Amino acid sequence: MNCPLKGMFHLQHLDVNGKIKNEFDCPNGIVDVGLNHILETEFNGGTPITTWYTALVDNASFTAFSNSDTMASHAGWIANEDYDEASHPEWTAGTATGRSITNAVTVDFSINATVALKGIFITSQSAKATATGTLWSTAAFASVVNAVNGDTLKITYTVSG
């Protein structure tokens, strides 16, 4: 039996009045360090990460994601910090069922500048400007998401196998 672990982001982009500007799904890649963390935790008694955070990827200087990306080393991209939340918003997983787990409440970003976004990632660190922690997954949007001050991005993330 085959059980490929994968993830899917659902993004809803709203304007300042709550009107939907765009909505789409975006598959993610689970990076090596993220998968190794799960394997170490489940099979070698590693320490679980109990809180995960969602963060945005800036389009500026984006070239690519790599399976070897980590929070300390990701040469092909930079994080975007142009949102009101003081830290990366928490991704709170619901109960696993039917071979998947997702967040019951959207992860929201209140955009506070004119930005061009290329993707999204999941990390164990809440601080916006950090090079520490565990990177779980990355995803590139099919096209650049252009947002302005007052826009909101609502994210749902599902991991399944």
Question: What's this model's pTM, rounded to 2 decimal places?
Answer: 0.94
- The confidence band for 63, taking pLDDT boundaries of 50, 70 and 90, is very high
Q: What is the identity of the amino acid at 147?
A: A
Distance CA 145, CA 109 (A): 13
Distance CA 5, CA 96 (A): 13
For the chain, the straight-line distance linking the first and the last C-alpha, in angstroms and rounded, comes to 11
Q: What is the pLDDT of residue 130?
A: 87
- The confidence band for 2, taking pLDDT boundaries of 50, 70 and 90, is low
- The confidence band for 3, taking pLDDT boundaries of 50, 70 and 90, is low
**pLDDT tens readout for residues 18-37:** 999 999 999 998 999 999 99
In b/e form, how buried is each residue of 25-55, taking b as 16+ CB within 10 angstroms?
ebebbbbebbeebbeeeeeeeeeebeebbbb
Mean pLDDT, all residues of the chain: 95
